[in-house]
Amino acid sequence: MKTPTIPRAVILSSENAVAVAQYAKLIGWTESELVNHFLSEKIRGLTDGQSGYAEGFLGEIHYFDRQGAERALEYITKLVRKGYEGKLPESYQGVIRQHPDGRFNLRVQWLDHRGQLQSVG
């Protein structure tokens, strides 16, 4: 897999920049150290295929286009399959919803091995 090129500078919203500066000063870290700490925690959760974090994260986002929502739904479906020996539970349902403002989000539900409802989005 080709390593993506990441821009060296990330532009924060003014609200986030103020909060990062405030908390970095409070704890004695640089702003970069604080931002990288937050990112490492989030990325660790996203790459842990067993935690369910990636599914929840992808399910809470509003996507700007249907293609992005479709890719996310495919990925969630792939993660659920891993937990069921490559098959989906019979109860599995995944839908993409379009909102009046043109954005999209996901709703995914299934019954787990214990019969408990799992829901994303």
Residue 68 lies in a domain: yes
- Cα separation of 104 and 96, whole Å? 7
Tell me how many domains the chain contains: 2
Looking at the structure, tell me whether residues 61 and 41 fall in a common domain: no
pTM confidence score:
0.77
Residue 111 lies in a domain: yes
Looking at the structure, tell me whether residues 91 and 101 fall in a common domain: yes
- Cα separation of 55 and 51, whole Å? 9
Looking at the structure, tell me whether residues 34 and 90 fall in a common domain: no
Return the pLDDT at 2. 63
pLDDT mean for each 10 residues of the chain (121 residues):
68 93 96 92 83 89 96 94 91 96 96 92 88
| Secondary structure E strands in 1-121 | 93-98, 104-111, 117-120
**Which single residue is written with the structure tokens 């959760």?**
45
Residue 86 lies in a domain: yes
- Cα separation of 51 and 109, whole Å? 16
Looking at the structure, tell me whether residues 36 and 54 fall in a common domain: no
- Cα separation of 121 and 57, whole Å? 9
- Cα separation of 66 and 102, whole Å? 9
Looking at the structure, tell me whether residues 35 and 55 fall in a common domain: no
Structural domain for 39, as ranges = 14-46
